[in-house]
Amino acid sequence: MMDADSFTAFHEQLHRWVRERLVPAETEVIRINRVPDDIRAEMADMGLFAITTPEEYGGAGMSISQYIATMQEISWAAPAFRSLLSINVGMVTTSLKGGTDAQKAEWLPKTAGGMVAAFALTEPDSGSDSAGLKTRAVRDGDHYVLNGTKRYITNAPFADMVIVMARTHVEALPKNAHISAFIVPVDTPGVTIGAPDEKMGQTGAQIADVIMEEARIPADCLLGREEGRGFQTAMQSLDNGRLSIAACSAAYAARALDSGLKYATERKAFGEPIAGFQLIQAMLADSKAEIYAAECMIRDACAKADTGARVTLEASCAKMFASEMCGRVVDRVVQIYGGAGYLKEYDAERFFRDARLYRIYEGTTQIQQLVIAKQMLRAMDG
């Protein structure tokens, strides 16, 4: 982990950078539907792609608390910024840490330096039920031949490398040992990236299909050079991914509320600012309390995770609560804005659309309910 003083110095500066650089660039991000190149370069220069990379590979080696706090800070701005680095610092880095020394030495400095990598698990017919995964990887001498389609792959249009989960056994094995992870350079013949999907919100973040047709990759690209470990690798990063979504839900709710609060003090009705009306105040107060609750959950879960404890239950609780909470807050902010809240000209409308995704990805609220209940029942049996 980073020492506390250095992290504080970094965090304070990040807070400023987000407000001085990212927020003013939001209009441009929406106009060009991507993070502008100069901001992307600045993100790389500042070391944001390297926050979770171990120090020996050129990273900051942040603790879970520090990593999540960083994501939370960035998520004050439009989601596209966080999205661009979230896969690198989350699933990709976690996966690569499970690689061989040679794989780590080759790829970690690149992903830390700002080369965008994607993580491909979801398919047209399988999502959280990873057992039904269809993409095949067949050994052929010194190579593997990959066939299949991955769907909703974040950053695929920007990526130079994709970590692909593929089936190395036809029949399903216990603990999903039929799934292996592969490091697939995007320029591999037979690999194509589909056109970016058009989304409800989160403009500037891009997702697309990753299609593999007879894509031959060297056997060295098998992550960890061991078949059957892919699913475990994927699962290791799930708890952190959920904490990350919880953190950006809390941050985006705070951003929306800040915007709603300002609007309420400026907009007048019946001769006074609407912030003076108690029914508006109720919406502001409920939102504030809920954001605070989510922040406390996230901090608690992160502190536990820092000790090395598994936080599957806490991460799911935090993700479910924070994302649903964010949905309620952005809805209230649209309400506070009134008619203006329904217009694209004002921020409230965009916050409302952007936030909808938080209740869906990294496991829907319904999946979180299953995870939480499963943990409870298991503890009861145990």
Partner 1 sequence: MKILVPVKRVIDYNVKPRVKADQSGVDLANVKMSMNPFDEIAVEEAVRLKEAGTAAEIVVVSIGEQKAQETLRTGLAMGADRGILVVSENMPEPLAVAKILAKIAEEESPDLVILGKQAIDDDSNQVGQMLAALLGWAQGTFASKVEVAGDKVNVTREVDGGLETLALSTPAIITTDLRLNEPRYASLPNIMKAKKKPIDEKTPADYGVDTAPRLEVVKVTEPPKRQAGEIVPDVDTLVAKLKELGAVA
Q: Kindly list the residues in this chain that would bind partner 1 in the complex (CB under 8 A).
A: 2-3, 5-6, 9-10, 12-13, 16-17, 21, 42, 45-48, 50-51, 58, 60
Query: Toward partner 1, which CB reaches closer, 82 or 167?
Result: 82
State the catalytic residue, choosing from 123, 227, 295, 362.
362
Residue labelled with tokens 């692909």: 164
Which of these, 168, 203, 208, lies nearest to 192 by C-alpha position? Answer: 208
Is residue 106 within 8 A of residue 252, CB to CB? The reply is no
Residue pointed to by tokens 């990526």? 159
CA angle at residue 181 from 180 to 187, to 5 degrees? Answer: 135
Distance CA 324, CA 368 (A): 11
Residue 249 tokens read as 């839900």
Cα 232–chain centre separation: 19
Candidates 125, 64, 114; CA nearest to 307 is 64
- Write down the least CB distance from residue 47 to partner 1, Å: 3
Question: Is 20 in the active site?
Answer: no
For the bound state, the minimum distance from the C-beta of residue 265 to partner 1, rounded and expressed in Å, comes to: 15
Is the Cβ of residue 59 or residue 230 nearer to partner 1 in the bound state?
59
Residues near 150 by beta carbon (within 8 Å), at least 6 away in sequence: 120, 121, 122, 123, 135, 156, 162, 164, 209, 210, 211, 212
In the bound complex, what is the minimum distance in angstroms from residue 9's beta carbon to partner 1? 5
Beta carbon nearer to partner 1, 21 or 136: 21
Amino acid identity for residue 2 in this structure? M
What minimum distance in Å lies between the beta carbon of 10 and partner 1? 5
Q: How far is the CB of 7 from partner 1 (least distance, A)?
A: 9
Which residue, 46 or 360, is less far from partner 1 as judged by CB?
Answer: 46
Q: What's the CA gap between 299 and 318, in Å, rounded?
A: 10
Query: Between residues 17 and 76, which has the closer beta carbon with respect to partner 1?
Result: 17
Closest to 279 measured CA to CA, from 332, 210, 318, 325: 332
DSSP code per residue over 20-83: IIIHHHHHHHHHHTS--HHHHHHHHHHTGGGSSS-GGGTS----HHHHHHHHHHHTTS-HHHHH
Shortest CB 14 distance to partner 1, Å: 8
Question: Among residues 48 and 78, whose Cβ is nearest to partner 1?
Answer: 48
Which residues are catalytic, by number? 362
